[in-house]
Structure 1
Amino acid sequence: MIPRILLCLSLLAPVPASALSCLPHDVAATFQRVNDAEEVYVGVLGTLTFDESRLPVVDMEQQQNIPPETKIPARIKGHTLSAEGFVTAFARDVTLNVQCAGPWCAKPQSGTLYLGFLRKENGDYSLSINPCGGDAFADPNRVMRETVRRCFAGGECEPAAEFPQ
């Protein structure tokens, strides 16, 4: 009887919360955010390549040592966004900015097609990816590509969900 009581009491004990809550990652909302930014962004659809061994490694025992950002040399090859779609060839070295929120880190994959918004600063390009998506969408479908094209051309550009300001 005592072991059952202890088991029941242990199930009621408070435990620390360990989940990351993300809003839906929406291509129209991301377009609107970067379009409204003071910084310059370039829309790109291309294959991202980088050394995956440089991604941050999460050690749950040493969470305090996980850097909030890890910058990795990368390359993206594809096409830039215009009102006609992704038509102009683009191949550039970029800095991949992999961001972490505590023990939750973005996990981009090398060799994957991304629809991304590259920040351009002093002739250099960077792509920020966080645990909730950031400025990149892996393996974007036709609807996502068309949504971004329509947004860029000044057409309808409504996020699929409501986002707090």
Structure 2
Amino acid sequence: MLHGRLDPYIPLPPRHRLPPGPARSKRGLAAIAGLIVAMPVQALFEFVLGSAFRLVGRTVHGRPWRGGWDSDAGRFALTVFGFYWERSRITGRELRLVVADAGLVPLPPWEPAEPTAAVPCRLRPGQPPARQRSRVDVAFGDGSWLALQMDNPQEAGRLRGLLAGGLSPGSPSARPGPPGRPDR
């Protein structure tokens, strides 16, 4: 089992694309008044600084995905975002991956997890620059793709090997090497 996350530059999905979450609790009037005062200040601060950091980050990092929410890549991302939304109405990016014959099976990071359907995919040609050793670009059947950030370069190398068809999930060479030794 591999551990990783959706690329941080993949935008959050619109709420109408997410599955229904748990019921919201009723908030008191004092809490709402505090939010009315604090939220505009925080939103402005996050917008200005967040936009600047995202612009610099995207320039260095490269595109995180292509295809939109109706593509296979978008549905894969919505599955991951939906794990968190159904549980606590927040959006998270962490996931576990199981590589099956049919493709990748995304699972939430907590146990036990309901298995999801395998998503047919392959390694995207033209991988990211060498400085992004933990990033793996995954291509889907409709031409869409998205970037995954694995927990370490060894897991990224292992996933690349499995998606490229060079390894089977149960083979000894599919297991990560000793710690501190990067995969090449």
**TM-score between the two structures when normalised by the length of structure 1:** 0.29
Which is strand-richer, 1 or 2?
Answer: 1
Q: If each structure's helix is expressed as a fraction of its own residues, which one has the higher value?
A: 2
Q: Which entry has the higher C-alpha Rg, 1 or 2?
A: 1
